Amino acid sequence: MPDTATSKVAIVVPAYNEAGRISSVLRAITQSKLAEEVIVVDDGSIDETAQIAQKFAGVLVKVLKENVGKGGAMLAGVQATDAQIIAFIDADLVGLRAEHVDTVIRPVLAGACDLCVGVFRGGKFWSDTAQKVTPHLSGQRAIKRELFLTVPHIGEMRLGVEVAMNQHAKRRKALVTRVVLRGVANYHKEKKMGLMKGSRARIQMYSEIAAAMIRVRRKRSRSSKRNLKK
């Protein structure tokens, strides 16, 4: 079990064009009792996401010149800290409170698991429904640094990054647990961007998740064939 007094915790917030939503998320995150660092990675935004994040005292803002996708932004955030435990929080949440953040961090910090995933309940209908169907795709999670950095091609995994993390944890036989984040939800893409742009963004998200699943399965298949030849 790790020494919780010396295990440093950082929160990484990957953000792309979230100027209208990131303030409420950062107000909650910066009140966390367990995290020592907060890092916002502006993933090539064309709005004022970075400028708004920079107004929060103690928040490190890393600005990427080009949009590299969620996986790349998460990796950039991890590389900006030496923390042994990393919590990832989406920048577009509604109803987030500091205790929700600490609920995700606490099991990993206590040594009860290697990866903790927070799932929504009692928030918005569509967010709750989506996470009942696919709770493993939640972006709210805490993970040991070493486990995250050994995920194959993590920086290339855009919106399929959670799929890659889950499969890697499974292959490594890592301990995974889930916690409930009651009253929290995501903004819908259609609400953020409008119906047409939001629908296109949603299709792209599903496409990237599917691509990650295919890539992970191919890697797993090649690994199984190599094992059979031994």
pLDDT tens digits, 18-46: 999 999 999 999 999 999 999 999 999 99
Structural domain contains residue 223: no
Mean pLDDT of 109-132: 74
Q: Rounded distance, CA 172 to CA 176, Å?
A: 11
CATH number, position 23: 3.90.550.10
Structural domain contains residue 125: yes
> What tens digit of pLDDT does each residue of 99-114 get?
999 999 999 999 999 9
Structural domain contains residue 57: yes
> What pTM does this model have?
0.78
Q: Rounded distance, CA 186 to CA 126, Å?
A: 9
Q: Rounded distance, CA 184 to CA 186, Å?
A: 7
Count of domains observed in the chain: 1
Structural domain contains residue 176: yes
Banded model confidence at residue 131, pLDDT cuts 50, 70, 90 = very low
Structural domain contains residue 3: no
Share of the chain above pLDDT 70, in %: 72
What residues form DSSP beta bridges with 116? 142, 177
What residues form DSSP beta bridges with 61? 40
What phi, psi does 57 have (nearest 5°)?
-60, 135
Structural domain contains residue 2: no
Banded model confidence at residue 65, pLDDT cuts 50, 70, 90 = very high
Domain span at 146: 9-187
Structural domain contains residue 98: yes
